[in-house]
Structure 1
Amino acid sequence: MDDLQLLREMRSDIGSAPQATLARGREEVMAKISPALVSGATTAHANATVSPIRFRRRVVMASAAAAFLVGVIVAADVVLPNRPGATAEAAQVLNNAAAATIQTSDPMVGPGQYLKVETTELTGSGAQAADGSDVNWQETTGGQVYVPADREGEWVWNREERVPLESSSEAAKALATELKQRRAASPQPEGTPLPVGIQRAPGGAFYGNEPTVIIGTPLKDADSLPRDPRALLDIIYERTKGSGKSPEMEAFVAIADGLRTGVVPADLRAALYKAAALITGITVLDKQATVDGRTGIAIGIPSPDGGSRQEIIIDPASGLVIGERAVLQRD
């Protein structure tokens, strides 16, 4: 292969020189080369001064550089962070839930009607007793949110009292009662919603906070979110960056928060399920999880320290979330 051919390998837009020109140029070059070099001598001085040799070195270096760049591209592709997503079993449950969600259409709410979203909650609580000791107990609470057909209309929320479990200690029950009496006796500033009872808010903006699908996107703007699971998950990762115990756990919690509202459109619920299926560490934790008398499949993710895990419980028939659980994994 001659020098011009090597050059063509690098630049395909170089035209062909006439053969007569090439022959004349070759004769001129050969006439200037000493007989020793023509016969094959290769001293250091000759190699350093003859243009064809230097030209070949540059070509080889250029080719090597090109090969190196290709190698870098391949290596970068290989070492990208591996995000395998949920386990195969969990991914199947979530994708099945997405399919069921699409098949189970959202309830039709006509003019003058409301969609009722009812919540029952079991949670931990505590306070400091008069003697300075800490008292902890579990308690239940609940509520009903009535969502009008026109989502911009007035939502109604009935917030129920918090009640200690019957199994709580007498000290806990007494302290819980005392706290309830304090709340009832404390005058609320004018315009401040009461902690319990009937609350009303246009567009569901109770306490000044409008309902959201995910952080940064209110329910009224749900149509602006992508339905592509990967694109949706990328947005969730970006908006939860630096929060929570791990990026994966925080993304899962963000999805659960949106689903908890009970008013996310079916196509977006399906996209949220599929996005959850892409989160590393999501597993099936309980195939017969019962919450408030309803049974479903618990999908969840453990915390990085292994001390707890977050779960959502899905009804496999309807694809609806029927509950959530925070489970301690240590005493």
Structure 2
Amino acid sequence: MPELWTDRELDQAIADQPAGPALSPAARAKAAAAMEAAFTAELTPSPRRTRLVAAAAVVAAVAGGLFAVQAIDGDAPAASADASLALAASNTLGTPDAPLAEGQYRYLARQAWDMSFATTATDKPLAVLIHSARETWVPADRAEEWLRRDTTHGWTWMVGDEALARAEGDNGLLGSLRRTSADQRGACGDFPDDNGELGGTPDDGKPCAERRGSWDSPAPAFLDALPRDPAALYSDLIAEADGVPATALYLATGVLASPDATPPLRAAVYEALTRLPGLETTDNAANLDGRVGTALGVAHSALRYEIIIDPGTGLLIGDRTVLLDPDADPYYAGLAEGTPIGFSSVTIAVAPDQGAVP
């Protein structure tokens, strides 16, 4: 029989893993395949509460060490989506948001790794994960000045490499990969480089206090108007998503990631999502900041969109997009089934001053 490790032994082994260099495409594909196998394999129950390392313990460095998958408990199968959401709904009620004192700002940070694709002059595929961050400082009075900081930190090759791109051309891919950082300021979140009327659709030109926002960018008035009854809330959500479950899950993240969403509203969103067709749970996923959470996802076409929730607090801590069918589009050429092609982490905190990182 394969050797069995206790939880403590395996946790220590995971903690001891070095970050390591960026993986080659072949190694990355192998790691992604192992990760997918760990998520989907049927594990033989053990009489002891242990983790079966040979069958399920995977510590995969995907995209240069950016994403870690922790071991799945050998005799603790993935909880149902309903059970995961019920736990999140219960625990978020006990996680109140910190109030803002005078002079403080609500701090929102989204770290993202998004794939960009191109082909060489001889049609060889190229793909990179671009690491960017958007930090926003929101004052207690939304009509006052906000600060938004957009930063491009770098990129990691997923398919091909820089030598191939320079030898055969890259259709402008490398030219777009620059490390940049830019600050913008604007009252009520109206930033100079944003297109369209002040406020954006559906609030074009409205005063700050009258803006509602939308599912993916909600203002307090929008959140206040949402029903707290889970059935009614789900009805509104799925209608906005035109009946597409993956779109509904994506739209729900706009509310769950809002610093203005109250714990009762977050709980109602989780309860509403129990009605979402095809929603599945994957245990022991990790978001980009290394915070471990529960991933809940819906498949749509060639992809599975997932949100990641901290089960202890019920807070959204990130999302990811996983490739299910590499043959569905030339965009995915060179990638293995099960490869995560996009990740993000979400942080909400209180900053002592504008521009200060908590």
Identity %: 29
CA distance in 2, matches of 1:320, 1:148: 22
> In 2, are the aligned partners of 1:216 and 1:239 still within 8 Å (CA)?
no
- Calculate the TM-score normalised by the size of structure 1: 0.60
State the shift of 1:286 in Å. 2.7
Tell me the number of residue pairs that the alignment of Structure 1 and Structure 2 aligns.
227
Name the structure 1 match of 2:228.
227
Note closer, same or farther for the CA distance 1:328–1:123 as it changes in structure 2 (3 Å cut).
same
Higher percent of residues as strand = 2
SS in 2 for 1:160: strand
> In 2, are the aligned partners of 1:137 and 1:172 still within 8 Å (CA)?
no
CA distance in 1, matches of 2:99, 2:219: 21
Higher percent of residues as helix = 1
Aligned partner of 1:106: which letter?
D
Name the structure 2 match of 1:60.
none
Name the structure 2 match of 1:92.
83
CA distance in 1, matches of 2:297, 2:287: 15
State the shift of 1:117 in Å. 1.5
State the shift of 1:88 in Å. 7.4
Name the structure 2 match of 1:214.
215
List gaps (5 residues or longer) in structure 1.
1-86, 185-194
List gaps (5 residues or longer) in structure 2.
1-77, 204-211, 327-358
Note closer, same or farther for the CA distance 1:103–1:252 as it changes in structure 2 (3 Å cut).
same
Picking from 297, 307, 314, the partner of 2:309 is: 314
Note closer, same or farther for the CA distance 1:161–1:217 as it changes in structure 2 (3 Å cut).
closer
Picking from 83, 95, 109, the partner of 1:104 is: 95
State the shift of 1:123 in Å. 0.8
> In 2, are the aligned partners of 1:164 and 1:176 still within 8 Å (CA)?
no
CA distance in 2, matches of 1:201, 1:270: 32
Give 1:175-194 correspondences, 5 Å limit. 175-179=172-176
CA distance in 1, matches of 2:267, 2:245: 19
Name the structure 1 match of 2:139.
148
State the shift of 1:263 in Å. 3.8
> In 1, are the aligned partners of 2:218 and 2:258 still within 8 Å (CA)?
no
Aligned partner of 2:187: which letter?
P
- Is structure 2 residue 290 aligned with structure 1 residue 293? yes
Name the structure 2 match of 1:200.
185
- Is structure 2 residue 161 aligned with structure 1 residue 164? no
State the shift of 1:102 in Å. 1.4
Picking from 320, 323, 328, the partner of 1:325 is: 320
> In 2, are the aligned partners of 1:213 and 1:264 still within 8 Å (CA)?
no
CA distance in 1, matches of 2:85, 2:288: 19
State the shift of 1:279 in Å. 1.0
Instruction: Look at both structures and tell me which one has the larger radius of gyration over its CA atoms.
Output: 1
Note closer, same or farther for the CA distance 1:216–1:143 as it changes in structure 2 (3 Å cut).
closer
> Following superposition, which runs of at least 4 residues in structure 1 exceed 4 angstroms of deviation?
127-134, 171-177
